[in-house]
A and B are shown apart, each in its own frame.
Chain A
Amino acid sequence: GDSVTQMEGPVTLSEEAFLTINCTYTATGYPSLFWYVQYPGEGLQLLLKATKADDKGSNKGFEATYRKETTSFHLEKGSVQVSDSAVYFCALSLPYNQGGKLIFGQGTELSVKP
């Protein structure tokens, strides 16, 4: 079935370090792909998305490219800040005729130290 797999956390980095969080997916057809972020005690916020192969989503210095050949959507940021500490979720969406459901990975906790 459709699924999303993320690298396990927690990930601990120093401020200004380079960030990569790996995400791979299994899906029938051509899903849209998303990264959501959850700050402590809050709900999920959409960080970025890509709707077709080779699209690059970007927001707040984060980027991810939809790679159909490797079924991946890795999240990257060139220089992380303490304020980026949060849990990051990779997700894919199923077609509307399947309810348009979002399927999430298990989440990756990021902790950035000053």
Chain B
Amino acid sequence: NAGVTQTPKFQVLKTGQSMTLQCAQDMNHNSMYWYRQDPGMGLRLIYYSASEGTTDKGEVPNGYNVSRLNKREFSLRLESAAPSQTSVYFCASSSQGGGLGYTFGSGTRLTVV
């Protein structure tokens, strides 16, 4: 099925550990995004990639890095996880910079203890 695939779906990390969240889309979209969702705060943009080969910071980039590996894949890395990074992470993609809406993955629920 066409869409956005995120892995893993669940993860528990200890403080200071590192991990990479994977995202892939098969809709030939140019733009990809990483959001985090916290209760009462909606979705906040961490990083985005408007097109292959470019990445830019969003609203809450501290503690994260990203890689746009190719047109399909956009990964999010936590180098040294902190409890404040406990959240649900969503990857999304769009074809025309969001003007027609985004397609979201099903999310990764991350807990940092």
| Stretch of A12-20, A60-68, A72-80, A93-101 that contacts chain B | A93-101
B58 & A96 in contact (Cβ 8 Å cutoff): no
Once the chains are docked, how many angstroms separate the CA of A36 from the CA of B90?
14
Report which residue of B42, B44, B45 has the largest number of chain A beta carbons within 10 angstroms of its beta carbon: B42
How many Å from the CB of A37 to the closest CB on chain B?
11
B31 & A100 in contact (Cβ 8 Å cutoff): yes
- A40-73 vs B, Cβ < 8 Å mask (1 yes, 0 no): 0011111001010000000000000000000000
A104 & B43 in contact (Cβ 8 Å cutoff): yes
Is B97 at the interface (CB under 8 A from chain A)? Answer: yes
A96 & B102 in contact (Cβ 8 Å cutoff): no
B106 & A43 in contact (Cβ 8 Å cutoff): yes
B96 & A96 in contact (Cβ 8 Å cutoff): yes
Is A25 at the interface (CB under 8 A from chain B)? Answer: no
Q: Which of B56, B101, B105 contacts A43 (CB 8 A)?
A: B105
Q: Which of B90, B97, B106 contacts A93 (CB 8 A)?
A: B97
Q: Which of A44, A51, A99 contacts B31 (CB 8 A)?
A: A99
A102 & B42 in contact (Cβ 8 Å cutoff): no
A51 & B104 in contact (Cβ 8 Å cutoff): no
Q: Which of A32, A42, A51, A107 contacts B106 (CB 8 A)?
A: A42
Residues of A within 8 A of B33 (CB): 101-102
